């Protein structure tokens, strides 16, 4: 073949993408055909990694936003030896390692799961923040880059506003993003939905922006070289590309730039599959073969990358010898392990809101967990993450010595950034906002669960007792939504989420312990705004008793042969304590009270343990400030749950408690009414 080897390689990627989609009878061939030139130049000439050690912590990272362009990644990594021929030939099939949208698989070069547009590049921003955070602590030798790849759809998704603003504001010069600007979307051309000046928008956010011909390899090289030399700003490379680059019709005429090439096999469009393969230099009989000259070229690239990584590792090893204490700390950060922590030593005043107790814990963690990055969506003084901030400082452009990210009002962006921080490794991400605004975070929470990331979510103002703010700020259905994730298994067979709503300060300390020790799934702490009367200790140490929450549920009040078992979590536990005092003194009943901080975790315990806490042969009454469904599975068909089945109202919390029936006296009456039916 007389064509330049770099053009051959790009055409090989195009041909593989076309063949994968055609064989699978589904997929998105047009975009990968447009992005092939950039991917080839990036990986052959600029991307630093170790082919023999794919999980090397100091590698460059590539974050795909446009997950529907998965064949672009699989084809590129096939050339690099990360996939076999059968892998690409079985695109989108059961059991294959080439799913329809990329799923995190670091061993093969896939750094993030993507698909929901906008999240992928935002995770890249998070990884760049983590890299800057670690560089500030261990030295400028830690200078790896984070690359993002975004499409027109990702640019349009609202989350790009938050990601662009934060990356520019922080001066993430280690973040380089390619915008595959082909002016075509799935159902329209872009001019039918937008007329914005994308370059001006990113420049306004503080980015370096360059527009190039995305098929001109010299322009791609110059843009990447300049981006790698940039020291003040993130870089956006706007590559003007052609949808379906290289497609031809049956008579050999070019058929490029058409909307129909976006989301279906090209054989189902005006293009011809076989003629397009031939136009790209591929074999119709063996479309999944790597071109012989491209194969030789990439073998040399793999060898060169391995040699370059070895040289970088030698520099790092020299640093390690000169900085043994720092090196040990770095290894500890990267291990994902925790230092020795004494949660029992954290002091709480009586009757605190659990958000205030969480603040005390965060203050302790700020002093004892050096690789934690805490973020708040403009609410640090309300969600009480300022307990951490007071012991640290905010991350700033040119100064990443702090540990607190002021995300601004951008809950989804903040959560996606946390996912990226977790994916990078070496840091523990914590994000916080009001519980009602978890609605804004759900897409990122879902990807936390799918990717099995140990992100810690802190949600305060957990119930209708945010009274004066009215129904818009009063979470009623949110707990039910979050707890559904405890019922959903991830691909490792574990609960995809750990939802923790502690009953008092002692349980809040234990909840934080549980969340930090839960490293392979996300965790959420659901915390109160209002003060809560502490649950009385049955013995000498309330904290020691609260450690039983590590089983998901336990008895905070226990008598022999109870007449009824009351069940709740969060602040309703103290309401049940007040109700039980009335029931015992005025009605002569014997009462047990169960605090079930996490039903999902509780269900993982032995049946004997579960029955010891919530016996099926006793009357069961549940109290929840959310939807009754929160506890219905625990009380069973014969039990009763008192909860809310309507939105909140604007009034002081104590008034709402009384109006809605959440006082000890009114709950005791509900219990007595229920007992009449059993």
> Residue 127 in contact with residue 148, Cβ under 8 Å?
no
530 neighbors 465 (Cβ within 8 angstroms): yes
Residues near 351 by beta carbon (within 8 Å), at least 6 away in sequence: 531, 532, 533, 534
Return the H-helix or E-strand segment holding 160. helix 159-170
Q: Are strands 591-595 and 554-557 parallel, antiparallel or unpaired?
A: antiparallel
In 3D space, the residue among 518, 569, 559 whose CA is nearest the CA of residue 538 turns out to be 559
Q: Return phi, psi of residue 603, to 5°.
A: -70, -15
Tokens representing 46 are: 């600029």
Place of tokens 């793999």: 302
3-state secondary structure (DSSP) of residue 252: coil
Residue that the structure tokens 């995305």 belong to: 214
Please give the Cα distance from 598 to 487 (Å, whole number): 11
Cα(97)–Cα(89) distance, rounded to whole angstroms?
Answer: 11
Contacts 24+ apart (CB under 8 A), 201-204: 201/164, 202/164, 202/168, 202/236
Of 111, 219, 411, 599, the catalytic one is 411
Alpha carbons within 13 angstroms on the beta-carbon side of residue 76 total 25
- Tokens representing residue 189 in the block: 């051309």
Sheet holding 235-240, edge to edge: 61-64, 146-151, 175-181, 235-240, 208-213
Annotated active-site residue 452? The verdict is: no
Rounded CA Rg of the chain:
28
How far are the Cα atoms of 120, 123, 185, 324, 625 from residue 154, in angstroms, in the given order? 9, 13, 11, 43, 38
Tokens standing for residue 135: 């560089």
Tokens of 198: 């994308």
Across the strands, what pairs with 591?
Answer: 564
Phi (first) and psi of residue 509, to 5 degrees: -60, -45
Active site residues: 411
């Amino acid at each position: 073949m007389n064509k330049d080897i770099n053009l051959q390689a790009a055409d090989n990627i195009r041909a593989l993408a076309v063949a994968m989609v055609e064989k699978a009878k589904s997929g998105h061939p047009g975009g990968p055909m447009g992005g092939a030139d950039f991917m080839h130049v990036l990986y052959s000439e600029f991307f630093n990694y170790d082919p023999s050690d794919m999980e090397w912590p100091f590698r460059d990272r590539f974050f795909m936003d446009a997950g529907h362009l998965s064949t672009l990644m699989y084809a590129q990594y096939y050339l690099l030896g990360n996939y076999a021929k059968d892998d690409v030939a079985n695109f989108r099939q059961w059991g294959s390692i080439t799913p329809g949208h990329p799923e995190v698989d670091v061993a093969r070069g896939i750094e993030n799961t993507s698909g929901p547009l906008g999240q992928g590049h935002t995770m890249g921003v998070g990884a760049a923040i983590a890299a800057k955070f670690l560089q500030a602590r261990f030295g400028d030798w830690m200078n790896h880059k984070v690359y993002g790849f975004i499409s027109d759809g990702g640019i349009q998704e609202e989350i790009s506003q938050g990601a662009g603003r934060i990356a520019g504001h922080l001066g993430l010069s280690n973040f380089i993003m390619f915008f595959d600007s082909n002016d075509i979307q799935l159902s329209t051309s872009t001019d039918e939905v937008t007329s914005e000046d994308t370059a001006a928008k990113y420049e306004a956010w503080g980015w370096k922006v360059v527009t190039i011909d995305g098929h001109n390899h010299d322009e791609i090289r110059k843009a990447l070289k300049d981006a790698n030399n940039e020291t003040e700003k993130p870089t956006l490379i706007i590559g003007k590309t052609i949808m379906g680059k290289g497609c031809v019709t049956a008579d050999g005429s070019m058929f490029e730039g058409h909307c129909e090439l976006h989301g279906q096999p090209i054989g189902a469009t005006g293009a011809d599959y076989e003629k397009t393969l031939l136009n790209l230099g591929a074999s119709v009989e063996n479309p999944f073969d790597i071109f012989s000259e491209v194969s030789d070229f990439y073998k040399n690239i793999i060898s060169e990358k391995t040699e370059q990584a070895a040289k970088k590792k030698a520099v790092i090893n020299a640093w390690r010898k000169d900085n043994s204490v720092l090196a040990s700390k770095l290894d500890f950060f990267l291990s994902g392990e925790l230092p020795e922590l004494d949660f029992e030593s954290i002091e709480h005043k009586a009757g605190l809101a659990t958000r205030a107790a969480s603040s005390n814990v965060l203050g302790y963690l700020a002093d004892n967990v050096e690789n934690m990055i805490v973020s708040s969506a403009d609410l640090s003084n309300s969600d009480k993450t300022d307990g951490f901030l007071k012991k640290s400082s905010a991350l700033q452009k040119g100064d990443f010595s702090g540990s607190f990210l002021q995300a601004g009002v951008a809950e989804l962006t903040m959560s996606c950034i946390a996912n990226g921080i977790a994916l990078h490794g070496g840091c523990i991400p914590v994000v916080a906002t009001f519980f009602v605004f978890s609605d804004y975070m759900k897409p990122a929470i879902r990807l936390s669960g799918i990717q099995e990331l140990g992100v810690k979510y802190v949600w305060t103002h957990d119930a209708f007792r945010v009274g004066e703010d009215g129904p818009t700020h009063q979470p009623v259905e949110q707990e039910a939504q979050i707890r559904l994730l405890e019922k959903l298994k991830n691909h490792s067979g574990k609960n995809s989420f750990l939802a923790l709503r502690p009953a008092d300060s002692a349980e809040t300390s234990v909840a934080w312990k549980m969340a930090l020790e839960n490293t392979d799934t996300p965790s959420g702490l659901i915390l109160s705004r209002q003060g809560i009367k502490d649950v009385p200790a049955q013995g000498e140490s309330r904290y020691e008793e609260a450690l039983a929450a590590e089983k998901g549920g336990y008895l905070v009040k226990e008598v022999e042969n109870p007449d009824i078992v009351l069940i709740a979590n969060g602040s309703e536990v103290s309401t049940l304590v007040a109700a039980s005092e009335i029931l015992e003194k005025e009605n002569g009943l014997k009462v047990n009270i169960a605090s079930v901080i996490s039903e999902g975790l509780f269900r993982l315990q032995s049946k004997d343990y579960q029955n010891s806490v919530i016996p099926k042969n006793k009357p069961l009454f549940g109290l929840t400030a959310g939807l009754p469904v929160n506890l219905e599975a625990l009380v069973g068909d014969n039990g009763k749950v008192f909860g809310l089945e309507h939105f909140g109202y604007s009034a002081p919390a104590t008034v709402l408690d009384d109006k809605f029936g959440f006082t000890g006296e009114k709950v005791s009456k509900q219990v007595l009414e229920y007992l009449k039916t059993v």
